Amino acid sequence: MLSGVVWAIENPNRGIVEPDEMDFRRNLEICRPYLGPVVGRYSDWTPLHERGRLFSEDIDAADPWQFKNVRVTW
């Protein structure tokens, strides 16, 4: 929210835009003091990790990265 407001102040002639039209580098520059360390690490986690323990679900075990496995509905 804060970076969106700062972006709007810095770009008054742009009007309302989609997030993809904003400068993500400037956005991160504003957000980083509040985010703390931002790291990327490889792991073996998949959207199916610990799924189906409480109740059965319609999942695609053959391909864990299918959208139906990521989207959780009740």
Summarised one tens digit per residue, pLDDT across range 3-17 is 989 999 999 999 999
**Which one-letter amino acid corresponds to residue 33?**
P
Residue 12 lies in domain = 2-35
Cβ atoms 48, 64 nearer than 8 A: yes
**Same domain flag for 52 and 73:** yes
**Same domain flag for 66 and 50:** yes
**Same domain flag for 30 and 7:** yes
Q: How far apart are CA 19 and CA 35, in angstroms?
A: 19
Q: Which residues of 7-33 are buried (b: 16+ CB within 10 A; e: fewer)?
A: beeeeeeeeeeeeeebeeeebeeeeee
pTM over 0.85: no
Residue 57 has pLDDT above 90, yes or no: no
**Same domain flag for 46 and 26:** no
